[in-house]
Amino acid sequence: MSRFCGECTYLDLSTGDSYGKFYCEKRCERHSANDVECSSYCTAYSRSNGSIKNAMEYSKDHESSGGCYITTIICDILKAPEKNTFIETLRWFRNNVLQNDEKYKDILVEYDIVGPVIAKNISNDPLKYQIAANAFFKYIKPITKLIKAKNYDEAVNRYKDMTNNLKNFYNINTTVTVEEINNADIKSSGHGIYKVKRITDM
């Protein structure tokens, strides 16, 4: 009988992300609670059946709802740990610069709408490692350097180049409408899942 990641002591059930994955402290990567056990499996005897069931339902409900393609590149494909200087710098930039300036709202919303499509294409590509490595060294690493140097507009331009190149490479024609931009909640944007404003915010 198969056992699942949600039943493993190494899967931190407090770290669920927008596409249904949790952080595995043993393998330093993210997994669905519904993934079948690996060779590192260790039963979480103190974990209640209810919390396991909730985690598995969370994974099922969220697994196709979004996708942060930069996290896909850095963590899922290149196997960097969840906490690394590149992810943390980019998240700081999103939270403290992009989400606080309306002029960047369009790229945040595009990331939420087009990003999951890019993430899926890269994940399913037989050459995903080469593509991820190229994106990392050509774009992501230089972008983080630009952010640290406070050259924010150039960092945004470099990000746009990366996104457009990946869209062209995978023939992604998804576009973002003005209505989608206007209706988006900027403080929740840039996570790889599109969210609209609450009615009270409109």
d(CA 162, CA 69): 11
Structural domain count, the chain? 2
Picking from 40, 62, 84, the residue at the C-terminal end of a domain is: 62
pLDDT given for residue 65 in this prediction: 42
Q: What is the pLDDT of residues 23-78, one digit of tens each?
A: 999 988 888 898 889 999 999 999 999 999 999 887 876 654 446 899 999 988 99
Range of lowest pLDDT (19-28, 81-90, 159-168): 19-28
State whether 140 and 171 are in the same domain: yes
State whether 20 and 80 are in the same domain: no
Average pLDDT over the chain reads 89
Question: What does pTM read for this prediction?
Answer: 0.67
d(CA 163, CA 115): 8
State whether 30 and 13 are in the same domain: yes
State whether 164 and 101 are in the same domain: yes
Checking if the pLDDT of 202 tops 50, the result is: no
State whether 57 and 101 are in the same domain: no
State whether 73 and 118 are in the same domain: yes
Note down the domain range covering 140.
Answer: 69-201
State whether 82 and 156 are in the same domain: yes
State whether 31 and 75 are in the same domain: no
**Which residues, 6 or more positions from 133, have their beta carbon under 8 angstroms from its beta carbon?**
78
Burial tier of 103 (Cβ tally within 10 Å: 0-12, 13-18, 19+) = exposed
State whether 21 and 113 are in the same domain: no
Residue among 53, 87, 70 at smallest CA distance from 19? 70
State whether 133 and 41 are in the same domain: no
Q: Which two tokens stand for residue 196?
A: 């609209």
State whether 133 and 168 are in the same domain: yes
